[in-house]
Amino acid sequence: MGMTIAEKIIALAAGVPEVKAGDIHTVNLDRMMSNDGTTHLTVDMYHNKLKHPHIADPKKMVFIVDHNVPSDSPKTAASQKKMRDFAREHNIDFWEGKGVCHQIMMENYVRPGELIFGADSHTCTYGALGAFGTGVGCTDLLYGMVTGTSWVLVPETVKFNLVGKLPEGVYPRDLMLTIIGEIGANGVNYQVMEFTGEGTKTLSVNDRMVLCNLAVEAGAKTAIFQADEIALEYLRERGREPKAVFESDPDAVYAREYTFDLSKIQPVAARPDFVDDVVPAKEVCGVRIDEAFLGSCNNGRIDDLRVGAKILKGHKVSDHVRFLVVPASQEVYLQAMKEGLIEIFMESGAIVMNPNCSVCWGSCQGVIGENEVLISTGTRNFKGRAGHPSSKVYLGSSATVTASAIKGEICTADQL
């Protein structure tokens, strides 16, 4: 029986010729990432709960401080110090303030064919390079750190056949929100979303990251693209080699199949408080906003900043809106500076922040107050996600967010 890309990666990591959905296997992990959202708890457990504290291979570990950067309180500073000290003591790669963890991982570590655990739900982003990345909690991370292994229940794969090309002014984020709106927040629970079809050839690695990153919002264990020439070129530019390049077998078994015609996708928005409450963006036009956010592991890359800057150039941010622009990494930030994008943002009245998770995770910077409204390129719009429980978050593309920041109410770029 044939296997999907995800099944082949698990089989390789388990050291067996074949796996099938529903099997439980012990796998060797290629890499583990942990950020400041939970690492202080992992470190405490390492010191206080383990009979034999030990790290199987420090070279497989990456610690990234990205959630509350710079720290916002003495307690946060203490939690981050615990993480920093542990990383130094055990020779673990440590990044702080350099970017959102998944952007750092994609720029520096992820290779096709790898099986990666990250103590963050958006670890599914790594499928953009044909890797199997999945989110875990800190106990799983600790177990992996100590043993170099973990257990995996092989998930079913659901095929998403993409055809056509996105129209001008419509972005991968509109596509992924549309897919989530259609299949629901529970649509692919414990399954893998495999994106395939000729439409994938129109999507860059950055575009693919947008799709894979949000897969968890439909319940997926991960999402994956075949590592094709586009992915291998991204890898070559960064001096990395694949671990293994897989494609799904013609007789691979899929739980279901969907087809999405990219040319039919329109700008959409997810309404508060659920990511799958997706409507055409025009339906929510006119909603007055207090803040707009362009950034996050979903939409803080150079492509997204270019879209925002192009729309913003020659305009001013509305005088009742805080427009936060947060490049996803220092690499992105520096590129945006070279291209003059940061100048455009600042001259228009945007607040350009250091690379970090920012208001997408609702702590640290940009938090919104009682009854305030945010339009965001972040990952989630759950109740209170960006601050006060009564506040509201709409999700839209970088174009919709920027246009809304200018107008002071939700609007699409073509309505400016």
Q: What angle do CA 25, 136, 328 make, to 5 degrees?
A: 130
Closest CB to another protein among residues 140, 303:
140
Q: How far is residue 313's CA from residue 19's CA, in Å, rounded to a whole number?
A: 53
In the beta sheet, which residues pair with residue 162?
260
Task: Consult the annotation and say whether 124 binds a ligand.
Answer: no
Selected from 47, 49, 238, 338, the binder of another protein by CB under 8 A is: 49
Selected from 111, 159, 173, 221, the binder of another protein by CB under 8 A is: 221
Q: Which of residues 103-132 bind another protein (CB under 8 A)?
A: 119-121, 123
Question: Of 296, 405, 291, 386, which is closest to residue 345 (Cα–Cα)?
Answer: 405
Q: How far is residue 94's CA from residue 84's CA, in Å, rounded to a whole number?
A: 7
* Least CB distance to another protein at residue 275 (A): 9
Task: Consult the annotation and say whether 297 binds a ligand.
Answer: yes
Task: Consult the annotation and say whether 138 binds a ligand.
Answer: no
Q: Which of residues 363-402 bind another protein (CB under 8 A)?
A: 363, 367, 380, 382-385, 389
Instruction: Name the CA radius of gyration of the chain, rounded.
Output: 21
**From its phi and psi, is residue 296 left (phi > 0), alpha (psi between -120 and 50) or beta?**
left
For 217-354, list the strands marked E by DSSP.
Answer: 222-225, 256-261, 268-270, 278-280, 291-295, 322-326, 351-352
Selected from 36, 66, 174, 331, the binder of another protein by CB under 8 A is: 36
Site string for another protein, 63-102 (x = CB under 8 A): ----xx------xx-xxx----------------------
Q: In a 10 Å sphere around its CB, with 0-12 CB exposed, 13-18 middle and 19+ buried, how is residue 338 labelled?
A: exposed
| Binding residue ranges | 297, 357, 360
| Binding residue ranges for [4Fe-4S] cluster | 297, 357, 360
Q: Which residues bind another protein (CB under 8 A)?
A: 24, 36-38, 40-41, 44-45, 49-52, 67-68, 75-76, 78-80, 119-121, 123, 135-140, 142-143, 146-147, 151, 153, 185-186, 189-190, 216-217, 219, 221, 274, 276, 361-363, 367, 380, 382-385, 389
